[in-house]
Every structure is written in C-alpha cells, then in structure tokens.
Chains A and B, each alone.
Chain A
C-alpha cells in the first residue's frame, strides 16, 4: 500500500505510537533520504582508515556513493565517487590505493584526478582548447558539500547549510568518540583495517531501535546466553582456568530483567541517544590494572578514575551510527531501501593501551559482530520478521511505543528514562525524525 504523499508526514508519528509507513513505505523512505540523510551529518570513516597517501575507502550516504581518501600532503577528503566526464564510478573496489602517482584514474577514458578531486590530467587536451578551461570545477570530482572531523572521526554533510558538526553532535553524540579516545593514554584511537559488511532485510530504524531496546536481549538472545553460561562452567571444569572474557559478554545477553531495569537511557537533541550502565569493564584482572597504570601515568589517578568509570554501553549517533565505546565497536548504518540496510562494522585499538584491552575488543568483534555472530543472527531474524509484518496491508497500522511513555524526565532538552527498559530511545529518535521530516531541518 503506497503511502498517500499528500498526507502530512508528521502525522505518522504520535507521542506513543508510529505508523507502519515509517518503516515499510518506499515514498516515506525517499523522503527520509532527502530530509534526513542528505541534510544531517553522516559518518564517513576514521582518519586512520586512510593512513597513507593514495589510500581510499568507499561508502554510502543515502544513494550517493562517496570516497574517503588521503592526499600526499596528509589531507583527508570526502568526494563523490563519480567521474565528471561521463559519470563512471572512479573507485570500483571497496578499498585500495590509487597508486604511485596518488591520483585516481577513471577506467573509461583515463581522466586523472588528484586526491582532493581536482583534475590532474586527461587525454586529448587539444579538444578542449577554447571550449572549457581545464580548471573549471565542473571538470573536477565533486567534494562533499561539507566535511568535518571530530577526534579522528570524519563526517560529511551533503547540505551546504546546517549546524556545524560539534553543535550537531552535542554532548550526547560526542560522548561516543570521547569515551573511546579518552581510554587511550595518547587520547587517540586507530581503526583496525577490517570492515565486516552485513545486509539486514529491514528498515534502518529497526536496527537503531534494537540497539537500545533493553527488553529484547534476554528474550532474543536467550539461547546464546544459556550456551555461554554453560560453557563457562565446562571450560573451568576441564581446564581449571577462568573462561575467556568473551564468554561473559555472551552470557550477559541473558541477564535478568532487573539488571536491565536499573540502567538509564538518555535522549539528546537531534535523536542521539545513550544507554548508560550495563557492562562495567573494570574487573581486577592484570589487563585492567595495566590499563589503569598507563592512564594514571598519562592523566593522573583522579582523571584515570573518571575515564574508566564512564559507563556508557551504547551511543546512537542519529541517524547513522551505533557505537559501543568501552568495547571500541562501531556500526555504521547505510540504508539501501525501505526494507534493506547495510551495516559496516568496525573496531578500534586504543593507542598506547595494553594489548589485552584490544583482545577484549577483538573478542566482542568476533563473537557479536562478525558474519558468524552468535548474537546478531537472532536480531537479524527478528528484524526481517518485523519488516515482513509491517509490510502487510491488513492486520493493523501502528507500532506501539507505549512502554513508560510520559514517565521520562525532561531537563534542558535531555530526556532520561524512568527505567532502562523504557521505550524512550525510540520515542526520542522519532521526535527527531518528525522534526527532520516536517521542517527538513
């Protein structure tokens, strides 16, 4: 059932329920690209992805295909992946290096471009004499309308106007990156050059909502939680040693409701949302103690304590990111259609931190986020079931977001939920959605 486009889009979202067209209607999806993905800031990649001159990675902003690359003076650029001559994609691989000359070369007619998009050379120059100046911008690879970096994380906006990146991120959005970088004694992280890409047969919002849905883990991941708890015992019995920490990551998915209840979800402006609490990663094991030592040397004990007590499990940078700072995980959301979403999954090393801290991150990356995940297998299955159900014509039109509605505390534009299991994160994101969709802000 195509949604009636004359209808006011903002009526799709009420305080405690949303219309299924938000998830399942292609016309609404096209409006989302226009009003949200082409207006807001979108995460492109991390500076350390393109360490050397000529390095590039490709990604998506809505339907636009973009390139992140580095020039030979160290500059990082975000370009549209399109040759200005005949329109061909310049970079046809996910990642690579543009070669000795640090120049892109179009595979069709060999137009060459510097890494900032400017035209470097082209064959048959004579044919342009007196017709067009070769420095004309229409003969260059187009740059993203705006580009900005926060602590090494590169964002682009395809809209000339709007708030600058730091204003847009605000305290909520910035916490995703601060909480990663602060855990390094150098104040910096570097990306591990591996991107797992997984296609979800569901709407992009479903994934973001699930990330902060504290009711689903004990149900969706019951099987994995049980299996991991059982294997913790088997491991200790057979080896006489403590099981690897990764087993606990999985066992935690089946925590009882009371634990989830004690958490906070916090809604920030522009739809950015945090889940606070959950995974205290300060056991007294040698790795944590070594981490405390290097942070104390760098920042002093008081600041070290502040940094490691920051207990944010999850930050959603709306509409494009899900970040788990204490585990150094990042998932970027790339909507491909109303019912199809690509996730790009990355993890990070903390510069100067003990190797064991990275091993924790790697264990989580493997067990939860790899293509053999024992966790997301069930999430993705749920997302598909949700999408299929929401695509039905009959059977009802609305999605319920009633849990603890009206019970959240709002102070200075920041919403704090009464319980970790509140559907406040969904309501907060939809409030931003409504704002973007109705005003095109």
Chain B
C-alpha cells in the first residue's frame, strides 16, 4: 500500500475519508435527513463554536451544539407542514476540499481529519455564502466511519448574521 510519506497515512485511508466527507455534504444538500442522523455515533455531536479559540461546547454559548435528539428535533421542525420560513424553498450546495488527516489510531482506525468547505444557500430569491473549516472526529465502524464530533469553524463566526441558519452547514 503506498504511503503518504510526509504524513504517514495510507492513500486508502485518505480516499475513504474524502469519500465519507463528500457523502456527508451530499446528504445535507439532498436533505436526506434519515441518512444524516446515521452519519453520527449514538453520542455523536455537531458543534459550531461561538468563538474561534473555544475548546469545548459544554457550558458555553455556541452557534450549534446538538446531539442526536436536538438534530432529530431540528429535522422534525424543518419538515413540519407549518414551518413557514421553509415554505419559500431552501437549497444548499457544498464543496468540501483540503482534506487532511490530523491523527489516526492505528489500532482501531479512528481518526481526526480537517477539511475546508464552501457553501451557498438559496432562499427567498437570494443567495448567501458560508465558508469555514470542518474538524471531524471519526470512529471506524463496520468498514465505514461515523462522526463522534464534527466541529465547524465558520469564517464569519463573530457575525453579524444576516438572518439565521435553519439547518447545519
């Protein structure tokens, strides 16, 4: 198996991780919510800190900090027939790139990887742009990965925000 000499991670692992991140972006853009929840471990979390230097989401203000239950609640809300603000139609498109494996536990295949994303959102005849960094803590399960923690550092973290974010970035 060829090795990435500088980082010492196999090309196969790199490819698997990239495919996983692309798949996640596609699930989000396709609003495939059932598959979205399955991306996460049972105790998995989606976290967008309110400050770049934040080390934890616990006990501090966050922009997003959701376990499966809160994610499930958010899905039920946006799909509810009376979610008025979703009526105008809502579409996103993600590009994920610059995927780097930061560390890997060779024993169980769990790893931490970082990547960059650009995302456009279309709603009410207007387009918005977001960009930032993902840091995924992935667990190797059943020949694939599941997300233990996804940290999302958006470039415009300090705001101000024009309108709000109804679903995950």
A160 within 8 A of B: no
Q: Is the CB of A199 within 8 A of B84?
A: no
Partner of B59, one of A362, A370, A378: A362
**Residues of the B chain whose Cβ atoms lie less than 8 Å from the Cβ of A380:** 85, 163-164
Q: Is the CB of B76 within 8 A of A231?
A: yes
Stretch from A174-182, A190-198, A292-300 forming part of the interface with B:
A190-198
Q: Is the CB of A94 within 8 A of B164?
A: no
Stretch from B3-11, B65-73, B98-106, B139-147 forming part of the interface with A:
B65-73
| Closest Cβ neighbor of B76 among chain A residues | A227
**Residues of the B chain whose Cβ atoms lie less than 8 Å from the Cβ of A365:** 61
Q: Mark B79-100, 1 if CB is under 8 A from A, else 0.
A: 0111111001000000000000
Q: Is the CB of B77 within 8 A of A374?
A: yes
B50 within 8 A of A: yes
Q: Is the CB of A370 within 8 A of B62?
A: yes
**Residues of the B chain whose Cβ atoms lie less than 8 Å from the Cβ of A250:** 73
| Closest Cβ neighbor of B68 among chain A residues | A238
The size of the chain B interface, using a CB distance under 8 A, is 35
Q: Is the interface of A mostly helix, strand, loop or mixed?
A: helix
Q: Is the CB of B83 within 8 A of A198?
A: no
Measured in the bound complex, the distance between the Cα atoms of B160 and A227 in whole Å is: 28
B53 within 8 A of A: no
A373 within 8 A of B: yes
Measured in the bound complex, the distance between the Cα atoms of B59 and A359 in whole Å is: 7
Q: Is the CB of B61 within 8 A of A371?
A: no
Partner of A231, one of B63, B65, B72, B78: B72
**Residues of the B chain whose Cβ atoms lie less than 8 Å from the Cβ of A230:** 73, 76
A3 within 8 A of B: no
Q: Is the CB of B159 within 8 A of A231?
A: no
A414 within 8 A of B: no
A382 within 8 A of B: yes
CB distance from B94 to the nearest CB of A (A): 17
Measured in the bound complex, the distance between the Cα atoms of B161 and A342 in whole Å is: 9
**Residues of the A chain whose Cβ atoms lie less than 8 Å from the Cβ of B81:** 223
A150 within 8 A of B: no
Partner of B164, one of A198, A234, A243: A198
Measured in the bound complex, the distance between the Cα atoms of B73 and A250 in whole Å is: 10
A438 within 8 A of B: no
A372 within 8 A of B: yes
Partner of B161, one of A198, A219, A355, A378: A198
Q: Is the CB of A371 within 8 A of B161?
A: yes
Task: Knowing A371-B165, A376-B164 are in contact, say whether A228-B159 is a contact too (CB < 8 A).
Answer: no
Measured in the bound complex, the distance between the Cα atoms of B48 and A270 in whole Å is: 40
Measured in the bound complex, the distance between the Cα atoms of B69 and A243 in whole Å is: 10
Chain B stretch 29-67: residues in CB contact (< 8 A) with chain A = 48, 50-51, 59-65
Chain B stretch 122-143: residues in CB contact (< 8 A) with chain A = 124
Task: Knowing A196-B50, A198-B164 are in contact, say whether A371-B76 is a contact too (CB < 8 A).
Answer: no
B16 within 8 A of A: no
A377 within 8 A of B: yes
**Residues of the A chain whose Cβ atoms lie less than 8 Å from the Cβ of B59:** 355, 359, 362
Q: Mark A332-370, 1 if CB is under 8 A from B, else 0.
A: 000000000010000100000001000100100110001
CB distance from A376 to the nearest CB of B (A): 6
**Residues of the B chain whose Cβ atoms lie less than 8 Å from the Cβ of A222:** 80, 82
Task: Knowing A197-B161, A198-B161 are in contact, say whether A366-B73 is a contact too (CB < 8 A).
Answer: no
Q: Is the CB of B50 within 8 A of A197?
A: no
Measured in the bound complex, the distance between the Cα atoms of B63 and A198 in whole Å is: 12
Q: Is the CB of A378 within 8 A of B83?
A: yes
Residue from the set A228, A243, A366 with the largest chain B CB neighbour count within 10 Å: A366
Task: Knowing A231-B72, A365-B61 are in contact, say whether A371-B77 is a contact too (CB < 8 A).
Answer: no
B residues neighboring A (CB under 8 Å): 48, 50-51, 59-65, 69-70, 72-74, 76-78, 80-85, 88, 124, 158-166
Beyond the given pairs A223-B77, A372-B165, 6 more chain A to chain B contacts, judged by CB atoms under 8 angstroms and listed by A's residue number, are A219-B82, A220-B84, A226-B82, A227-B76, A231-B72, A372-B48
27 A–B contact pairs at CB < 8 A? A94-B158, A196-B161, A197-B160, A198-B161, A198-B163, A219-B82, A220-B84, A223-B76, A224-B77, A224-B80, A226-B80, A230-B73, A231-B72, A250-B73, A347-B61, A365-B61, A370-B61, A371-B159, A371-B164, A372-B64, A374-B74, A377-B163, A378-B83, A378-B84, A380-B164, A381-B84, A382-B84
User: Sorted from nearest, which 9 A-B pairs have the closest CB atoms?
Assistant: A223-B80, A197-B160, A381-B85, A227-B76, A223-B83, A227-B77, A222-B82, A194-B61, A231-B73
